[in-house]
Structure 1
Amino acid sequence: MNVFVVGISGAVGGLLERELTSRGDVVSGLVRLDDQRAHFAARGVAVRVGDIGVLSADALAAMLRGVDVLVYTAGSNGGSRRVTNAVDGDGVVTALEAARLAGGSRFALVSVLPEAWRQRALDDDAEHYFAVKKLTDVAVTLSDLDWLILRPSMLVDRPGTGRIALGPAQPHDEIPREDVAATLAELLHEPRIRRQILELTQGETPIATAVRAVIR
C-alpha cells in the first residue's frame, strides 16, 4: 500500500509512518521545513515540503501520484484561531480536494473526541478549535471519497499497550499515541472499514480484534 501522510513529522504521524513501514508499505508525506527531509531520508521515506495551511489543492494533488490513501494527522492542538483555521479547517478541505483531483479514493482523518477537555474551563480559542474540528468532520463525511474519521481520546506519551476500545461512540479517557498509530495502521489495512466515524480510547481488546469488530 502506498500511503501519503499530511503531518508525518508530528507525533502520531511519525509513529504511523513507522507502523506502516514495518508492514512493508510505501510511505511518503508532507513536512513544513526543508531541514526535516534528512530525518526521513535516513529512513528511506520521501517527503515533500509545504505548508498545508497555504498549499493549493492542485499543488498537493501533484504530490499524490500513485498514492492509495491520504492520511491527515496534522493538527494545531487548539492554538491561535488563525492556525486552527488553516490547519484543522482549510488544510483538511484542501487535502480532500487534492485527493479527488489525484484520482484517489481513500482518505483518513485523525480528529478529536468532541468531549475532550470538557473537565477544563476552556477559553474562546479552545472552543473555536472544537467547533472547527466538528465542521471539518462534517466536510469529510459529505465528500464522495472512501473516508474514515478516527477520534482518539486524550493523547498521552506513555508506551502503548496494544489494547483499546474502539467503536462509534466511546467515553472520553486517554490513550497512548503509539496505540493510536497502531490502530490507524490496522484500520488502513482493512478496506471493508469505510465511511465510518470511529472513536478510540484505552481498553482491554487487542487492536486487531477491535478493528475486526467494527467491520460492517
Structure 2
Amino acid sequence: MRIAVVGGHGQIARLLHPLLVAAGHRPVALVRRAEQRVALEAAGAEVRLLDIENDDVADFARAFDGCDAVVFSAGGGPDGNAARKRTVDLEGSLKSAAAASSAGIRRFVQVSAIDVDRPVAPDADPVWAAYVAAKRDADAALRATALDWTILRPGRLTDAPATGLIALGSDVARGDVTRADVAAVLAAVVDRPESVHRQWNLVGGDVPVADAIARAAAS
C-alpha cells in the first residue's frame, strides 16, 4: 500500500517509514518544510508538502492522492502552546479524516494518548488539559466516521530502543512505551483487518508485537 503519514517528520513517523518500507509498503511523508525532504527520502519515504494548521480539507485530499491508507501521527508538541493542541492534534485529525473520506481512502490509523477519556483534574496545567481534550475529541470524531479506523493510545513515550514486547488492549493500564515500539505496532496494524474499529491502549510489556495484536483482536 501507499500510506500517507500525517506528521511525517515526527519522532514516531521517522521510525515508522523504514518499517513500512521493510513490510513492502510505500510511505508518503506529509511535512511542512521542504528542507526535511532529503532525510525522509533517505528513510524510504516519498515526501509531499502539507501545512496541517493552514491547509484545508481539499489540500489534504490532494496530498493523499494515490494513497491507500492514512496514518495520523501529528502532534503540536511540548511547546507550551495550548492553541496548537487544537489546530494540530484535533483539527489536523478532523481534516485528515474528512480528506480520506473524500479521496475514497477507507483505512485510517490514528495515534492518540492513553487515558484521554478520563476527566482532567481541575488544577491541571492548561496546556495538558488542552492536549487531552484535543486527543479525546479527535478520537470521538474518528470513531463516528465510516472509515476503517484503528486508534492506538500509547502511554508515556520514551526514546529507548525498541523492545518488540508490548501490552496492548482496551483496558491496559498506563505505563511507558518506546516510540520505536509504537512505530512497530503502527506498521503491523495498518494492513490487519482484525484491527479495524478497535481502540487499544499501548504500553511496554512482555508479549511480542504480532502476538499482542492477535490477542487484542481476539478479545
TM over 0.5, shorter chain: yes
SS in 1 for 2:27: strand
TM-score (norm 2): 0.92
Name stretches of at least 5 consecutive residues in structure 2 with no aligned partner.
Answer: none
AA in 2 matched with 1:91: G
The CA distance in 2 between the partners of 1:43 and 1:129, in whole Å, is 29
The CA distance in 1 between the partners of 2:185 and 2:198, in whole Å, is 14
- Residue 45 of structure 1, CA deviation: 2.1
Match of 2:74 in 1: 74
The CA distance in 1 between the partners of 2:77 and 2:161, in whole Å, is 21
The CA distance in 1 between the partners of 2:214 and 2:49, in whole Å, is 36
The structure 2 residue matched to 1:191, chosen from 190, 193, 209, is 193
Match of 2:84 in 1: 83
AA in 1 matched with 2:142: V
Corresponding residue pairs, total? 214
The CA distance in 1 between the partners of 2:75 and 2:19, in whole Å, is 20
AA in 2 matched with 1:52: I
- Residue 129 of structure 1, CA deviation: 1.2
Runs of 4+ in 1 over 3 A off after TM superposition: none
Structure 2 counterparts to residues 67-216 of structure 1, below 5 A: 67-77=67-77, 79-114=80-115, 122-216=124-218
- Conservation of the 8 A alpha-carbon contact between 2:17 and 2:44: no
The CA distance in 2 between the partners of 1:74 and 1:20, in whole Å, is 17
Q: Percent identity?
A: 34
The CA distance in 2 between the partners of 1:171 and 1:54, in whole Å, is 36
The CA distance in 1 between the partners of 2:32 and 2:106, in whole Å, is 25
Name stretches of at least 5 consecutive residues in structure 1 with no aligned partner.
Answer: none
SS in 2 for 1:112: coil
The CA distance in 2 between the partners of 1:180 and 1:40, in whole Å, is 19
AA in 1 matched with 2:138: T
The CA distance in 2 between the partners of 1:17 and 1:141, in whole Å, is 25
SS in 1 for 2:217: coil
Match of 2:40 in 1: 40
The CA distance in 2 between the partners of 1:92 and 1:198, in whole Å, is 18
Q: What value does the CA root-mean-square deviation take over the aligned residues? A: 1.8
Q: Deviations over 1:78-113 (max 9, x none)?
A: 531221111011111000111011101011110001
